[in-house]
Structure 1
């Protein structure tokens, strides 16, 4: 008896296995993009973006002091590209200059430490010209009862 002839097996299509690496890389990129972009998209402009130029962040404190404390320009003068502020207070024989309240305004606006302000007011003519500093500024001054307190504030 003869056996029926067998047909060769049908060719099995070659199934190629795909690597998951491209999908893993794509997923990582999506996560990184989400971490970077989502906060920027949701930012409403209130976030601190680091140091800004003076004009962008706020006005120059020396200029603000002049505008706020001496609008009549009686005792303050800006010079050296707004880096130096000369302040003259009133004295017994020199009525032109800033009053005590205007001087307090200057000290508050420039955030002069209280101990330094007290030292300035406590200086007498015999002490001569003295110096001090605080973050961002240096100051030299004389204090004469007749001529008043005179300051030269320099932005450092």
Structure 2
């Protein structure tokens, strides 16, 4: 019987899979970053209005509590909400239910709401705050409760 012939060359080297693994990780990471930008919003980086309003209590209040847009006004890059309440002589503005909706939606504490509602015209303009917001207001039975809420952070 003959014995198998032994090769005179050096034994074959096994190649490390590490470069292929690194390449695969790089390609996946690149795909995760680029694909949403290419497929996504078609160049529009603005968030959807629904998502924006859910994240921002001031926008949510406008959408939810003043559908006819007669008593709320956003300004200063959506950092300032002006609330116009209806009064006896000036009925244009938010009624009591809509006002409650706004104040609850923006997370105003009940003690501050009670203080606002108990204010009279002789008190002039008053101010209060709670985390991330400040509010100034006047309350007159004829003109209604007028409030300006400003986001501080």
- TM class, shorter-chain normalised? 0.5 to 0.7
* Structure 1 gaps, min length 5: 1-54
The counterpart of 1:126, out of the listed 92, 109, 122, is 122
Q: Distance in 1 between matches of 2:144 and 2:74?
A: 19
RMSD: 1.7
Partner of 1:61: 57
Q: Secondary structure at the match of 1:139?
A: strand
- Check if 1:115 corresponds to 2:111: yes
The counterpart of 1:79, out of the listed 72, 75, 80, is 75
- Check if 1:105 corresponds to 2:101: yes
* Structure 2 gaps, min length 5: 1-50
Q: Distance in 2 between matches of 1:63 and 1:148?
A: 22
Partner of 1:37: none
Larger radius of gyration: 1
* Shift, 1:59, TM fit: 2.5
Q: Distance in 1 between matches of 2:87 and 2:53?
A: 37
Q: Distance in 2 between matches of 1:84 and 1:138?
A: 10
TM-score by length of structure 2 reads 0.64
Partner of 2:133: 137
Kindly tell me the number of residue pairs found equivalent between the two proteins. Answer: 103
Matched-pair contact (CA < 8 Å) for 2:53–2:60: no
* Shift, 1:57, TM fit: 10
Matched-pair contact (CA < 8 Å) for 2:70–2:94: yes
Judged with a 3 Å threshold, the aligned counterparts in structure 2 of structure 1 residues 94 and 60 are, in CA distance, closer, same or farther, namely same
